[in-house]
Structure 1
Amino acid sequence: MIACAPGCQNFALGWLKRKVVFEDVEAACHGPSIHAEFDRHASHEDTMKIQNAIALVTGANRGLGRELVQQLLAAGAPKVYASAREVGALADLAKAHPGRVETLTLDITRADQIAAAKARCTDVNLLVNNAGINRSKGLLAADSLEHAQAEVATNYLGTLAMCRAFAPQLTGKGAIVNVLSILAKVTLPAMGSLCASKAAGLRLTEGVRAELAARGTLVVAVMTGPVDTDMSRDFAGPKSSPAEVAKAVLAGLERGDEEIYLGDMAAWINAAMAQDPKGIEREMAKYLPG
């Protein structure tokens, strides 16, 4: 795990001060409260029912991925394929839920492992692309392209490869959930390469949604602020719990939401982007790498 850059820490401290006036920004937008979640509803007549979901969750070994598996099971999903690069980390889930959790090794940057997952998981009707990485690097300040290439390989190309592999079997009442970040909408320079990869992930989500619309497949973008997982453990600001995010994702799926925002920071950025996109760009530009 790579520690949060100083610019990211400065942003967290700035956010703590800024949060006290968030309600005024939100009220100016004349929208519903989005401290918990804000949704854009799809026009699907028959939305995903968790009790009918056979799910494949990537990055299920810890944090949000593990919580999604557990909440899917608690909500009545008959089977969940829990995947991770190190399958041993999933053994306890399979033991606790015999017959309902199947584990598999899956690195979404490897075409051979994606092909093996597709061949095995032929009954999946819900794909949850949760796997992602954050190298906490700037775009020009990084020593090389290595970190940016790794983020793009996982957060964009890996997610796209999973969508391409499983889209054919999701026709009808199937769904794809892509776990992104509110930083898909705005750049925090201290984590510039992450933001670029997440922005690409949002564009791919919108494109896949358009291509699958005629097939009746729901495609969901989940855009959170910081979540209390290893990926943001050094972030000093307020964080949503994995349980809160997972609960919002499942509720949004059953409503047919295409976008789910969670957490005060996501709400603030989303509202600010609607009101003054250049203003929020200038605000974020204060938090540089190093």
Structure 2
Amino acid sequence: MTAPLTPPKRKDPLVRTRAGHVPPGLRSRAARAMAVRAGQGSFVLQVCDRCAVVTYPPRDRCPRCWGELNWKDQPRGAVVEAETTVRATIDLFFREHLPWRIGSVRLDAGPMAIVHLHGDVKQGDRVRMELRLDRGGAPALFALPEKETPNMADDPQLREFSADPKFRRVLVTDGRSPIGQIVAKALLKSGAQTVFLGNAEPLMRYPGQDDIEAIDGIEPVALNLAHTRSCQELAAQMGGRIDIIVNTAAFARPGGVGFDSKLTDLQTGLDIEVMGLMRLAQAFTPAMSGRSDDGVNSAVAFVDIVSVHGLTGKTGFAGSAASAAARLSLISGLRGEIAKAGIRVMTVLTGPVDDDWHQNVPPPKTAPEQIAKAVIETLVKGQETICAGDVARDVLSRWQADPLLTIREENQ
């Protein structure tokens, strides 16, 4: 049985911080394709279009008949055939995390695979397989107990494949919005040690302020993403204490491009959502990258909540969609920059949010509770991309199938 995780002791400032390393990187385009699907929470393997054989690890051609391989969802069951424990290695990542358990499993889909083993799994067990991303962004198979076990999420190896908020300190950038407040409560419920709640205008009251700031574990901080100095000052004060950043800042206003448009709204939106994202990343990611392997509460993730219409544009909210598109581009660049440090960059895609600025948008709309649930899920599972609500899932699935058609559908 997995031992429960205990709160970390106060860090000795004289002790050297362990340098962060990541597991060996990807070596083929097929492996990168698998990583994309793992980042969306799918469990897929390659299937030959000629002989229908399921194969693993990722390959460019079928090893049996040289046919073309396609990705398809597979059953998650498997049986552990053998297990071993690695106790010595020259790899810089694994040598800091020994002992490390691996094993051979017979997948229900057919292939035999070498996988990472949860501590509650032993030889002969039926297991539930998950396709996870390691800290470097590479896909890996992880064998979990078939049924939930006590303290299962506290397994040390499993935590290396997630960004679980338990005992970690989180910065939520905008606490003035309902989304920020609900996300903060969800993080505390999931075990976060402290949630620092950003407030862009400390001298102005906002709805729910007394209630949210009275909660044990919530610590309000001054943070205005529209001002570079505000981001820099907060990072100087506590950049070394932040383990997870959840960017809830948003500026959604109705308006078109040639009609019913306001340049001031577009400028403000770009300043808060796009330039603000860059200010936030420049201020905090250097310190986070230096603490990516700092024990139980190491820095692990940067989460951005953004509209799914950044992929398609949206008539009636063209400015907000343009800001979202720029944010998605910046997030992709940031993911590549800090992958070597082992910091995960995650995107929560939303549809129209159920707020005052979307009153004229017909349902279904995305509730703040759905966004908070998606934030916790992507942290616990270590996913790169997750959808909050049915609208975002529908738009993303259609966009993946036919991008140009989806763009036309969303703008007519």
Report the TM-score, using the length of structure 2 for normalisation: 0.57
**Are 1:92 and 2:211 matched, yes or no?**
yes
User: Is the 8 Å Cα contact of residues 133 and 161 (structure 2) preserved in structure 1?
Assistant: no
Q: Which residue of 2 aligns with 1:193?
A: 319
Select the residue among 258, 262, 271 that pairs with 2:388. Answer: 262
Larger RCO of the pair (alpha carbons < 8 Å, separation 6+)? 1
Per the alignment, residue 22 of structure 1 pairs with none
Map of 2:128 onto structure 1: none
Query: What's the CA shift for 1:119?
Result: 2.1
* Displacement of 1:169: 2.0
Local SS of the residue matching 2:326: helix
Q: Any conservation in 1 of the 2:134–2:161 contact (CA below 8 Å)?
A: no
The alignment's C-alpha RMSD in Å is 2.1
Q: Tell me what 2:59 maps to.
A: none
Contact 2:254 2:357 in 1 (8 A): no
In the TM superposition, what are the counterparts of 1:124-139 in structure 2 within 5 Å?
124-139=242-257
Q: CA deviation at 1:284?
A: 2.2
TM-score (normalizing by structure 1):
0.80
Kindly tell me the number of residue pairs found equivalent between the two proteins. 249
The 10-residue stretch of structure 1 (244-253 or 207-216) with the greater mean CA deviation from structure 2? 244-253
Specify the alignment match of 1:42 in structure 2.
133
The residue matched to 1:82 in structure 2 has which SS? Answer: strand
Distance 2:381 2:351 in 1: 22
Q: Is the 8 A contact 2:366 2:391 kept in 1?
A: no
Give the aligned partner of residue 220 of structure 2.
103
2:404 aligned residue:
278
Choose between structure 1 and 2: higher strand proportion: 2
Give the letter aligned to residue 276 of structure 1. D
Write out aligned runs for 1:151-230 (5 A).
Answer: 151-171=269-289, 172=292, 173-230=299-356
Structure 1 residues not aligned, in runs of 5+: 1-28, 33-39
Name the residue aligned to 2:183: 68
Distance 1:77 1:262 in 2: 21
* Aligned residues with identical type, % of pairs: 27
Residue 74 of structure 1 and its aligned partner are, at CA, apart by: 1.3
Greater shift, 178-187 or 43-52, is seen at 43-52
Query: Separation in 2 of the partners of 1:117 and 1:142?
Result: 37
Q: Distance in 2 between matches of 1:190 and 1:31?
A: 37
**Structure with greater Cα Rg:** 2
- Could you tell me which runs of 5 or more consecutive residues in structure 2 were left unpaired when the two chains were aligned: 1-70, 75-130, 136-159, 293-298
Give yes or no for contact 1:41–1:259 (8 Å, CA) kept in 2: no
Quote the offset at 1:41 in angstroms. 5.2
- Could you list the per-position Cα deviations for residues 168-201 of structure 1 after superposition, in whole angstroms to 9, with x for gaps in the alignment? 1222142100110111111112111111110000
C-alpha distance in 2 between matches for 1:234 and 1:84: 28
3-state SS of 2:366 partner: coil
Q: Find the aligned partners of 1:186 and 1:76 in 2 and give their Cα distance.
A: 36
Amino acid at match of 1:258: E
Q: State the 1:70 CA deviation.
A: 0.5
State which drifts further: 245-254 or 205-214. 245-254
Q: Which protein is richer in helix relative to its size?
A: 1
CA contact (8 A) 1:133 1:231 kept: no
